[in-house]
Amino acid sequence: MAEYLSPGVYVEEFDSGGQPLAGVSTSTAGFIGLAQRGPTEGLPVLVTSMNDFKRNFGSYLSENQFGSYRYLAYAVEHYFVNGGSRAYIMRVAPNDAKPASGSAGTLTLTARNPGAWGNAVQAVLEPSSKAKTQIYEVVGDAKYRVKNGAGFNAGDVVAFEASGEKQYGKVISSRDNVIELEAALEGDVVDGGLLPAKVLSTCEFTLTVAYGDEVEQFEKCSLNIAAANYVEKAAARSNLVAVTAAPSDAAVHPLETLGASTISLSGGSDGSAGALSAADFMGEDNGPGKRTGIQAFIDNDQASLMAVPGVTEPAVQLALVAHCENLGSRFAILDIPREKTKVPDVLTHRDIFDSSYAAMYNPWLQVFDPLEKRNIFIPPSGSIAGVYARSDSTRGVEKAPANEVIRGCTGLEVQYNKGEQDILNPKGVNLIRSFSGQGIRVWGARTTSSNALWKYINIRRLFIFLEESIKAGTNWVVFEPNDERLWARVHRTIDAFLTRVWRGGALMGSSPGEAFYIDISRNTMTQDDIDNGRLICVIGVAPVKPAEFVIFRITQKTNEQ
């Protein structure tokens, strides 16, 4: 309660209604795969275009070097071509991939992540200084009163220049414009002129790192480990290199200690496909900031579509499906092995899975390869993720992402007919088919679940949307007094949200009452629930189902009818 201690008029605000509840995004994709460069552990990286992907992860990979593991770049490209707008990328690298490195004296530069890309990184060292001043007075043995002692720190190497000659020393202490050096400077060092001819300056260097058009510059770096501008600290934000240096005790310019002005990195390698295994894509949970592969997406709460393009090992795909089921907030798009084109072979791979959080697509798509300047076949998962995103933005998550044209696709590796689809469709294999005059279209909308309640993709994704939206929009409820007033506010919040969803066409019924119900009362909670801090709200919704089979029954009309 507020305190009222003096007479007056008090105005107070309070919340009496429900909080606005916004829907979450359902079209952000997450991809795992091989790339030329990019981090292999930590948080997945957000890209918003193919150019953004190339800046962070490089371009296309060679088929001769990586075979069926090379499709990440193509999948991301066709995700954006087909309507995607945001994707999170987690790079996987072979165990035998190595980062490039180079050194000069005690300074060592190592590429931020493994790959031959690092061999093109160059670093240039140039002299610089963060502070300059003139000496007004000699106040003791190797002690000098200066005009301005700011920027001179213990351990800094300094240069005293007079008449074109330089002397070097090291700062012992700097306080109240009095600087003490390790050894006294020779000659007359005092200069009280307005335009000084004798200058005492710190000795640093500017590190410039370049990779193609990407240039990073770190100014006024020092080898003084106690300095705020110590080179390891200054270059810690670099996206290209990691810098390590040993502090120098010599009272000479850092560039003389390092003995080089240009460092070219070398020794980086992309590794080989033979060094890859399913474990590399499944990843390891080494704790926050150290997770790899699929496990890295545990730390990401934005991605709602997941794919490992072209990687069809059952262990990897089952790990991806388990990841989606455990989180309950994302949906897996699975590829079928390219060599499995016959119906029995496709069903053999399909029978491994039973989950409403995954869908399977076949066959592979023919697209133009900018790297090899010819048509190639790529796995469909990237393009399908783009179709999902496009359908969500134009129609809504309640619309099945099927009967949609696949953009950028010039053909199919296999053309299935209706009889073959009659076998595959009930089993949950979504085919991509070419229709005369209608282009190449997604012609299936089923999950890999054996539960008939969850056999349609849009039903599962609609529930993911509802669950995540309600969860994100009701955080304000936690630790509120658990009484009827709170229950009424929660009811109003969810009712307003579901009414908006119903009006958008995602729920069945001619009225909100037919489309959904919300029960939050003594009927859903016991006194034990309340005593243990539980607020239980039961929500029922009637999702719209896709018109998968359109049947027109026609008969002859006779005169007698």
CATH no. for residue 210? 2.60.40
Q: Are 409 and 367 in contact (CB under 8 A)?
A: yes
- Same domain? For 387 and 446 the reply is yes
For residue 528, give the 3-state DSSP assignment: helix
- Same domain? For 321 and 389 the reply is yes
Question: Do the domain assignments include residue 23?
Answer: no
Q: Are 233 and 64 in contact (CB under 8 A)?
A: no
Q: Tell me which residue of 77, 74, 26, 32 sits closest to 388, measured CA to CA.
A: 26
What is the model's pLDDT at position 531?
Answer: 93
Say how many domains are in the chain: 4
Rounded to 5°, the CA angle 266-267-273 comes to: 135
- Same domain? For 244 and 356 the reply is no
Domain limits for position 88: 29-95+272-458
- Same domain? For 351 and 427 the reply is yes
What does the alpha-carbon distance between residue 378 and residue 411 come to, in Å, rounded to a whole number?
11
- Same domain? For 172 and 279 the reply is no
Question: Do the domain assignments include residue 40?
Answer: yes
**CATH code assigned at 164:** 2.40.10
What is the model's pLDDT at position 247?
Answer: 77
Question: Do the domain assignments include residue 529?
Answer: yes
- Same domain? For 45 and 118 the reply is no
Question: Do the domain assignments include residue 74?
Answer: yes
What does the alpha-carbon distance between residue 400 and residue 444 come to, in Å, rounded to a whole number?
9
Ranges of residues in the chain with a pLDDT under 70 are: 1, 560-561
Question: Do the domain assignments include residue 235?
Answer: yes
Question: Do the domain assignments include residue 11?
Answer: no
What does the alpha-carbon distance between residue 308 and residue 30 come to, in Å, rounded to a whole number?
9
Q: What are the tens digits of pLDDT across the range 141-194?
A: 889 999 998 889 998 999 999 888 889 999 999 999 999 998 888 888 888 888
Q: Residue 321 burial (CB < 10 Å; 0-12/13-18/19+)?
A: buried
Q: What are the tens digits of pLDDT across the range 122-155?
A: 999 999 999 999 989 888 888 999 999 888 999 8
Q: Tell me which residue of 300, 301, 304, 321 sits closest to 27, measured CA to CA.
A: 304
Q: Are 408 and 82 in contact (CB under 8 A)?
A: yes
Q: Tell me which residue of 291, 302, 305, 280 sits closest to 76, measured CA to CA.
A: 305
Question: Do the domain assignments include residue 310?
Answer: yes
Q: Are 378 and 71 in contact (CB under 8 A)?
A: yes
β-bridge partners, 165: 162
DSSP string, 457-525: HHHHHHHHHHHHHHHHHTGGGTTS--SHHHHHHHHHHHHHHHHHHHHTT-B-SSSHHHHEEEE-STTT-
- Same domain? For 282 and 397 the reply is yes
**CATH code assigned at 307:** 3.40.50.11780
- Same domain? For 216 and 327 the reply is no
What is the model's pLDDT at position 557?
Answer: 84
pTM of the model: 0.89
What is the model's pLDDT at position 1?
Answer: 63
What is the model's pLDDT at position 246?
Answer: 82
- Same domain? For 451 and 358 the reply is yes
- Same domain? For 56 and 197 the reply is no
Distances (CA, A) of 412 to 5, 264, 303, 317, 422: 79, 45, 28, 23, 19
What is the model's pLDDT at position 193?
Answer: 81
Distances (CA, A) of 361 to 346, 402, 544: 10, 11, 23
Distances (CA, A) of 430 to 72, 425, 435: 21, 6, 15
- Same domain? For 542 and 408 the reply is no
What does the alpha-carbon distance between residue 41 and residue 39 come to, in Å, rounded to a whole number?
6
β-bridge partners, 524: none
- Same domain? For 320 and 233 the reply is no
Question: Do the domain assignments include residue 75?
Answer: yes
